[in-house]
Structure 1
Amino acid sequence: MPEYLSPGVYVEEIDAGPRPIAGVSTSTAGMAGVTVRGPSAGKPKLVTNFLEFQRTFGGFVPEPDVPVRDKWANNPTEGGRWWLFPLAVKGFFDNGGQRLYVKRVVSEGATAATGALGNGLVSQVVKDAAAGAKTLELSHLIGFKGNDRVEILRGDDNQLIDSPTIAGYNASSRQIELSGPLTAGVRSARGDYVQVRRDPAETLKFTAVSPGSWGREVQVRVQPMVGATLPVLADPQQGAQFTTRLTAPADKDSPTVEVAEVAGLVAGDGWVQIGRGVFKVTASAPANGKVTLTLAEPQHPAWAKDLMVRRVRSASPNGPQETLRIGGASRLYEGAVVQLDHDGALLVLRVRSVLLDVVTFDADVPQNVLETDRLYLVEAQVDTRFTDPGGTTVTETFGNLRLLGEGPSTLVNTLASRSQLVRAEALTGLSDDPAKFPVAKSGAWLKLADGGVDSYDTLSVDDFVGVDGGSGQRTGIVALEDIDEVAVCAVPGIWSGTVESALITHCELLKDRFAILDPQDGLDIEGIQTFREPFDTKYAALYYPWLVTRDPFGNGNLEVPPSGHMAGIYARTDVDRGVHKAPANVVIRGILPVDGLAQDVTKRHQDLLNPKGINALRFFPGLGQRVWGARTLSSDSSWKYINVRRLFLFVEESIDEGTQWVVFEPNDESLWALVRQTVTNFLTTVWRSGALAGTTAEEAFFVACDRTTMTEDDLANGRLICVIGIAPVFPAEFVIFRIQQKTRETQLA
């Protein structure tokens, strides 16, 4: 109740009239099954097309070894062909499905593949070089000192190509100069690399993101990378910059050069940049507008007259010190590892603190660090790659990572939150020293060769049923409870009575979804009738026979379970017509155009099947292969049609979700009126869509919420009771035309 305590104008928002109820989606499906890979923990994952399913869960599952196959395929009561699950998923999307939640089923004995990195200094060759070349372009120069002895190895078999010494380097182009010519050519496409040192002491342990043999094909590489290249700023006491020019040509390696006199150029020692080189010089006193510069190390090419000469100032003129002024210092952080490119050497430092542009390091920087020097922020880059048996390649790259410390940008935390292939664990040997970076113990890439077992021989029906460990911790069929949007569910290829009973129980307990069951493959008419006998539920349907499609592994044709294709047909019918339309008399997509049904069902066969609630899949000349049944497995004639059962599920779930606002409202006539109007408006929309029978809304439904539906005891116990009746439309299952002979009668004038 608002308060009015002082004079003024008050503007208030009030709720008026009923609140709309939005119809829930009925085309979202949920399935549990065995996949090549993909997350096995957590909630089911949403996929919206088959390509996304392949990226997340892998491609088609190969048929298991003969003992495992026969153990499942030859078991008439607790068996199944679980390796056909991806084909059922493909059938779902082929037939119009758009949203599918997948829960991967794994054996309790399955393990994830693992591998560990050692440490050392390795850099990939990124540009081919022929025999006799004296330079190599590498992926990075982080950790190199400038005079290291290196080994150059082939990337395919790790055989030694050459073992020269580095004579120099060019940090900007990432090139190293070798002490002698290469004895053989190197190739980047082959994966050739340069190695300075390796240590088998383990630094990082990688584990495939989910169990299974697929993880043994995952490869990982960790490389140092330059997170930022920052300029060193001159000491403020160094004075102003100046630029002059050569007044005369200079021969190669000439010890002196003459430059024009300019303001700021005084006698004494200093540094200048001539061409691309930086030289320490001693300047003479000016004479006749010229100054002679004597080079301390006269090693340079010939220079032409008028070549620009620029003063280079020092950042540390007063001797070794812990601080430097750095441009863009905000890119640095406490504990950051940096590499200072100075005087032909690469010095590794760690940042202790950053204050504006003043950076304090954990060790002294040399005297006379120059403003032409550069500071490189050293971070890590992780590359992962995986190729599934179908040839699909998944690659990932994560850059600007920290090896040590805490926070979201560390290597371990980044992979935990973003990678679809691996997880990492830091071991005691992990260091952020660029010369001891995590590298494979041999070669350039680490292959996760340890563990990685599918353990299909220990797979059981209990793995499909699953266990309830709480939200996000459920497995198998039980995990589908985590997704409220699921309206149709299946376990394709499994005819186990235990599994199908669990699926039916799942739907009956939640009362917001419908199950599609698969029979055993290869059953005849008597066999499918026997298979159907144990079931009596209004929350499930059974389809016969199995379907025939092409084997994705090129072994001819293959029979697949119908539940995946039917779930797609349910979704397509719901979107095109509505949940009130029976998902029947619809062409089945994604199967062979000829002989796409494993058994031929005739009208006489269906005369036996249809009364028992077994929905036939039939071929009709000129009409194709169609769904020719729309019955549930219920013995209650009120619920024998699939569309009637699913219409009620739709109405019940929509009203449930759309009236949550009623809870804890004052339970009086005004609330009852709002509830009546809210439900009436929703059912009117449903009726107008053709889902309810009747020429008027009054014939189609009624809504009662008043003193006739509630007693004083109900009110005292906080109960609001609304009674709703709807008249569903039933499918025209039997279309009968009665034709009789009409005799022409004589007309008298």
Structure 2
Amino acid sequence: MSGQLLSSKVVVVEEEPKVRGIPSAPTSVAGAVGITERGPIGEAVLCSSLDEFQDKFGGFTADSDLALAAMGFFENGGSQLWVVRTAHYTDVASPATATAVRAAGFLVAGGGPTPGILLGGAARPFVLHDGDLIRLAVDGAPEANAVFNGSAAAMAAGGAGPYALADGMELLLRVDNGLEQTVLFSAADFADIANATATEVAAAINAVIVGGRATTPGGIVRLASDTEGTASRVQVTGGSANAVLAFPGVASVGGGNVANLRAVEVAEVKAVVEAAIPSVTVDAGVGGVLDVRTVATGPGASVQANPATAAAFGLNNALHTGAASGTANAVRVEGKDPGAYANRVEAEVRAATNGSASAFDLLVVEDGAYRETFPNLSMNPGDARYVETIVNDARTGSVYVRVIDQLLAGAPVPPPQTVALAGGGDGLAGLDDADFIGSEPAKTGLRALDQVQDLSLLLVPGRATPAVHNAMVRYCEVERDGEVFAVLDPPASQSATDIVTYVATTAALEQLSEFGAIYWPRVKVLNPAKSVLGSADQIVVPPSGIVAGVFARTDSAHPGRVYDPPAGIEAGRMFGVLGFETDEVLEENKRDLVYPHRINPLTTGPGLPRYIDGSRTLKGDGNFPYVAERRGVIFIERSLKQGLQFARHKNNTEGLRAQVRRTITAFLLAQMNNGAFRSKTPSTAFFVDVSEQLNTPTQIFAGKLIARVGLATNKPAEFIVLRISQDTRALEAELAAAEG
């Protein structure tokens, strides 16, 4: 019989705990998006020290705001920094369109028959027009065409003009997945705005929009993207004027077989050409040129480009034939990551250390210095020391290069030689805000950090623009459900009045959100690389990395320090800061100007360190308007969210609700003892309500268990008021005695 005790014994039964422990969520895991010397693009990579950052992302460059921010973060106490390298994308929604290019070179070897090889003379991206083609004659067969086409996204208004617009109406639109743009229609721009002509409307639109244009075929306003290809997109997203103009509510997309005819990449050329002409292969040659090869090898293999081939590819019209035997590209050596850094790298082949004729040593040289050695490599894919296996190993392989076996017949071993890599580019031409903001489906820019579950701080060093700042705050508050805090840099060269204008008007940050704070001005630090950053002893850098490091140091000082403001001459001290971009911040009246606009000054005084002199979030009229207050509540919310997972899918009984209440209360008691609240008395420090008034039958039947938590959070002492007067106590005592 189940549960029956058959003989005398001691029975141990473990009961479910009535109070669950809640683990503390991390508070200072930072994420940063920016430009680095090297490293993967659009991928979040964890670095726990400056040395690890430099191993993975390289050193300081002329565009190295992120490297300088990493230096400040770790120097000031940070220990976990997720880094996302960005570059310019022709379409931020497509990671493959990143314009950074790997440097490359080839190790050659003698061997069997070789293909016909046609090399281009122009580097990618290729600027084409609809209908441009590559026409090839291959192996003596009739010529074949690979045609490139693309059309622009376009949409028309609901009818012909005139249009009954009114002064102040707006049209909101988006071009090529870029930022939303606003067209404001003003009566001053029309002869009669209530009878606006199509020409007048188009002129008003063209005066504002970027990346697109308005035309008036047949007296109807038509919007089109400047991009021709599948990346082309036009969408009217709203605005009062569209009630009159009646553009379609759905986006129009372009067509074709490439993303953008004006910036065609080698991978796109490869797809189009190999589909149309399967007797050739197309790859990126050194420097980003086309490398067109016949599939066939030997003297009968040949390839020739017809003069009708688009000039943009730089393909000559000579006949290129294979050979029965000869030197051929055996191993492609290219930068492990895209970037110009690998243009300083050489690959050197030496005879194998073990003396084997069927093996070779590969050495990697940077700026004339030997960096890596890979001995006794094999060209046999089945060998344990196969060149691709060893050099490309994710853990023990090269941090500078990767190799691609060209699979020559007979797998000949490359003889001693040195090849310099060339053609690498950082992809910074055309860099814009969208490259930092990124795309959610593509996980580029900020959205590459979506995978970092413990992310708690966000910075984009050196990209202090209204679009990026607003996107950062939106990412923290909306996309990350209020679990991340943004540390915003000021734009460069901002006076006190400039930064007030920027925050209050230009970027409209003032009163925007509790989930971010802005600091001013930029700061001076010791120049860490004069050969790269100039001969000055000090350089000016954005402060976000340093500030985030101060947050991390404050948080880790002892339990509960996340509730302490990371500001002041002790907790807010900034290590490594030697001065400020503007000395205005040393003037009290200038600090008095910026602080009411919720801008946190960075300053110093006689005998004082350089420190953070403010602890305000961007928003002053919300629930938790101070940095430590907001970050402390984020910590509590994240911890409770994680610690209450045990209650999900259990029966919503009075017992479960009591267990939830006890678990939350126990956690908040511990936080109270750590200084989280204004009181050390539980009844005045917080409350937890899971009563029947909240958990009505309607809520229970809807599958909800509701707990209401109130927190009496701390407020910082921003102003110390000293009331000083003459000491008249003795006189008052004498008068009192005389009167008595």
Q: TM-score range by the shorter chain?
A: 0.5 to 0.7
Q: Measured at CA, do residues 15 and 531 of structure 1 come closer, stay the same or move farther in structure 2, by a change above 3 Å?
A: same
Q: Which residue matches 2:322?
A: none
- In 2, the alpha carbon distance for the partners of 1:667 and 1:523 equals 56
Q: Measured at CA, do residues 402 and 668 of structure 1 come closer, stay the same or move farther in structure 2, by a change above 3 Å?
A: farther
Q: Which residue matches 2:695?
A: 710
SS at match of 2:577: coil
- In 2, the alpha carbon distance for the partners of 1:106 and 1:698 equals 53
* 1:203/1:431 contact within 8 Å kept: no
Cα displacement string for residues 101-152 of structure 1 (whole angstroms, at most 9, x for unaligned residues): 111112232111122222259xxxxxxxxxxxxxxxxxxxxxxxxxxxxxxx
Which runs of structure 2 are paired with 1:102-251 in the superposition (5 Å)?
102-107=83-88, 108-119=98-109, 200-221=327-348
Letter aligned with residue 59 of structure 1: G
Q: Which residue matches 1:550?
A: 526
Q: How far 1:32 sits from its partner (Å)?
A: 0.7
Residue from 406, 410, 431 that aligns with 1:427: 406
Residue from 79, 82, 85 that aligns with 1:101: 82
Q: How far 1:400 sits from its partner (Å)?
A: 6.8
Q: Which residue matches 1:580?
A: 563
Residue from 704, 707, 719 that aligns with 1:722: 707
Q: Measured at CA, do residues 426 and 601 of structure 1 come closer, stay the same or move farther in structure 2, by a change above 3 Å?
A: same
- In 2, the alpha carbon distance for the partners of 1:718 and 1:45 equals 39
Which runs of structure 2 are paired with 1:465-614 in the superposition (5 Å)?
465-469=437-441, 474-509=443-478, 510=480, 511-533=482-504, 534-535=508-509, 536-551=512-527, 552-553=529-530, 554-556=534-536, 557-576=538-557, 578-585=561-568, 586-592=572-578, 599-614=584-599
Letter aligned with residue 428 of structure 1: L
2:400 counterpart of 1:417: no
Q: How far 1:736 sits from its partner (Å)?
A: 1.6
- In 1, the alpha carbon distance for the partners of 2:679 and 2:592 equals 31
Q: How far 1:455 sits from its partner (Å)?
A: 3.3
Q: Which residue matches 2:626?
A: 641
SS at match of 2:424: strand
Question: Which runs of 5 or more structure 1 residues have no equivalent in the other structure?
Answer: 63-81, 122-197, 230-338, 340-345, 347-377
SS at match of 1:458: coil
- In 2, the alpha carbon distance for the partners of 1:607 and 1:91 equals 27
Cα displacement string for residues 610-660 of structure 1 (whole angstroms, at most 9, x for unaligned residues): 111011111210113221111111141543211111111111111112222
* 1:465/1:477 contact within 8 Å kept: yes
Q: How far 1:225 sits from its partner (Å)?
A: 5.1
SS at match of 2:564: coil
Q: How far 1:218 sits from its partner (Å)?
A: 2.6
Q: Measured at CA, do residues 446 and 641 of structure 1 come closer, stay the same or move farther in structure 2, by a change above 3 Å?
A: same
SS at match of 1:438: coil
- In 1, the alpha carbon distance for the partners of 2:609 and 2:437 equals 36
- In 2, the alpha carbon distance for the partners of 1:410 and 1:438 equals 13
Letter aligned with residue 59 of structure 2: G
Residue from 582, 602, 618 that aligns with 2:603: 618
Q: Which residue matches 2:177?
A: none
Which runs of structure 2 are paired with 1:6-45 in the superposition (5 Å)?
13-42=14-43, 44-45=44-45
SS at match of 1:502: helix
- In 1, the alpha carbon distance for the partners of 2:48 and 2:449 equals 17
- In 2, the alpha carbon distance for the partners of 1:6 and 1:550 equals 77
- In 1, the alpha carbon distance for the partners of 2:622 and 2:726 equals 35
CA RMSD of superposed structures (Å)? 3.0
Q: How far 1:224 sits from its partner (Å)?
A: 7.1
2:58 counterpart of 1:58: yes
Q: Measured at CA, do residues 622 and 672 of structure 1 come closer, stay the same or move farther in structure 2, by a change above 3 Å?
A: same
SS at match of 2:617: coil
Q: How far 1:429 sits from its partner (Å)?
A: 0.4
- In 2, the alpha carbon distance for the partners of 1:703 and 1:531 equals 41
2:71 counterpart of 1:90: yes
Cα displacement string for residues 329-385 of structure 1 (whole angstroms, at most 9, x for unaligned residues): xxxxxxxxxx8xxxxxx9xxxxxxxxxxxxxxxxxxxxxxxxxxxxxxx66654434
Q: Which residue matches 1:463?
A: 435
- In 2, the alpha carbon distance for the partners of 1:597 and 1:713 equals 60
Cα displacement string for residues 168-215 of structure 1 (whole angstroms, at most 9, x for unaligned residues): xxxxxxxxxxxxxxxxxxxxxxxxxxxxxx952122222212111111
Q: Which residue matches 1:659?
A: 644
Q: How far 1:682 sits from its partner (Å)?
A: 1.1
Q: Which residue matches 1:444?
A: 417
Question: TM-score, normalised on structure 2?
Answer: 0.62
Q: How far 1:503 sits from its partner (Å)?
A: 0.9
* 1:117/1:204 contact within 8 Å kept: yes
Q: Which residue matches 2:718?
A: 733
- In 2, the alpha carbon distance for the partners of 1:11 and 1:404 equals 63
Aligned residues: 490
Cα displacement string for residues 512-570 of structure 1 (whole angstroms, at most 9, x for unaligned residues): 11111112111112111100011111111111111112333242132111111111111
SS at match of 2:612: strand
- In 2, the alpha carbon distance for the partners of 1:428 and 1:539 equals 54
* 2:672/2:680 contact within 8 Å kept: no
More helix by share: 2
Which runs of structure 2 are paired with 1:326-337 in the superposition (5 Å)?
none
For the pair shown, the structure with the greater C-alpha radius of gyration is: 1
SS at match of 2:394: helix
* 1:379/1:402 contact within 8 Å kept: yes
Letter aligned with residue 444 of structure 1: Q
Letter aligned with residue 28 of structure 1: V
More strand by share: 1
- In 2, the alpha carbon distance for the partners of 1:5 and 1:382 equals 74
- In 1, the alpha carbon distance for the partners of 2:650 and 2:382 equals 47
Q: Which residue matches 2:667?
A: 682
Q: Measured at CA, do residues 595 and 421 of structure 1 come closer, stay the same or move farther in structure 2, by a change above 3 Å?
A: closer
* 2:600/2:616 contact within 8 Å kept: yes
Question: TM-score, normalised on structure 1?
Answer: 0.61
* 2:378/2:413 contact within 8 Å kept: no
- In 2, the alpha carbon distance for the partners of 1:683 and 1:394 equals 57
Q: How far 1:430 sits from its partner (Å)?
A: 5.8
Q: How far 1:3 sits from its partner (Å)?
A: 6.1
Q: Measured at CA, do residues 672 and 638 of structure 1 come closer, stay the same or move farther in structure 2, by a change above 3 Å?
A: closer
- In 1, the alpha carbon distance for the partners of 2:53 and 2:655 equals 50
- In 1, the alpha carbon distance for the partners of 2:379 and 2:583 equals 57
Which runs of structure 2 are paired with 1:690-705 in the superposition (5 Å)?
690-705=675-690
Letter aligned with residue 215 of structure 1: A
* 1:549/1:596 contact within 8 Å kept: no
Letter aligned with residue 591 of structure 1: V
* 1:416/1:424 contact within 8 Å kept: no
Q: How far 1:457 sits from its partner (Å)?
A: 2.1
- In 2, the alpha carbon distance for the partners of 1:215 and 1:598 equals 40
Which runs of structure 2 are paired with 1:242-391 in the superposition (5 Å)?
382-387=362-367
SS at match of 2:603: strand
Letter aligned with residue 30 of structure 2: A
